């Protein structure tokens, strides 16, 4: 069975979206990618509405099995973190309305899964995403490449049983071993 994952690199100004199909042998194929952009001159409610409407369209068109979203992490710029968190909430709620499970992955988890190093830069991630998906050109902008990397990461980790959906109906179908692994991962993240 092929797993379809919609990855989202959330942000208010640029929200990267990417869809990949991943086979059991880990072969990943790009389905679509793009960026939803909003202007800082628009009001917050209008910016979130644009993101909500766009994610609804992507979910309806591509019907993913799971959504992979970048986990909000602490930065020095509080307003940036707030915007990312607000965009993430809109995306997660859209998936929840459809009963689509949602998994959260940190940037370092994504970098490690795609490049082998949790400290890789955006160029390295884009280069490996291009190679993994057998693309003729790198996906641009970097937000779209990051969304594709999130989707690949989730599919690869879910296939190994290491990471699974953390919300939604799919999280209930875990084996006892997968549930124990997911619980241990969640506990380790909370301890950070």
∠ CA 57-19-21, nearest 5°, is: 130
146 is catalytic: no
Mention every residue, 6+ apart, whose C-beta is less than 8 A from residue 95: 59, 67, 101, 102, 168
Q: Does 143 count as an annotated binding residue?
A: yes
143 is catalytic: yes
9, 21, 109, 146: the active-site residue: 9
- Spatial strand order of the sheet with 102-105 comes to 28-37, 14-22, 3-9, 66-70, 102-105
d(CA 22, CA 113): 14
21, 109, 143, 146: the active-site residue: 143
21, 70, 109, 146: the active-site residue: 70
Residues flagged as binding site: 9, 70, 143
Binding-site residues for Mg(2+), please? 9, 70, 143
Instruction: Catalogue the active-site residues.
Output: 9, 70, 143
């Amino acid at each position: 069975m092929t797993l379809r994952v919609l990855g989202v690199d959330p942000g208010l100004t640029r929200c990267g979206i990417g869809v990949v199909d991943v086979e059991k042998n880990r072969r990943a194929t790009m389905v679509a990618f793009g960026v939803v952009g909003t202007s800082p001159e628009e009001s917050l409610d209008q910016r979130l509405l644009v993101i909500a409407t766009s994610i609804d369209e992507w979910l309806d068109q591509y019907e993913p099995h799971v959504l992979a979203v970048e986990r909000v992490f602490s930065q020095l710029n509080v307003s940036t973190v707030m915007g990312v968190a607000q965009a993430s909430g809109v995306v997660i709620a859209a998936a929840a309305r459809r009963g689509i499970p949602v998994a959260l992955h940190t940037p370092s988890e994504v970098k490690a899964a795609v490049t082998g190093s949790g400290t890789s830069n955006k160029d390295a991630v884009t280069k490996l995403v291009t190679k993994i998906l057998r693309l003729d050109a790198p996906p641009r902008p970097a937000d779209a490449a990051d969304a594709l990397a999130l989707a690949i990461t989730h599919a690869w980790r879910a296939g190994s049983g290491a990471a699974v959906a953390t919300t939604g109906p799919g999280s209930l179908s875990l084996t006892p071993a997968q549930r124990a692994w997911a619980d241990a991962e969640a506990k380790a993240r909370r301890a950070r």
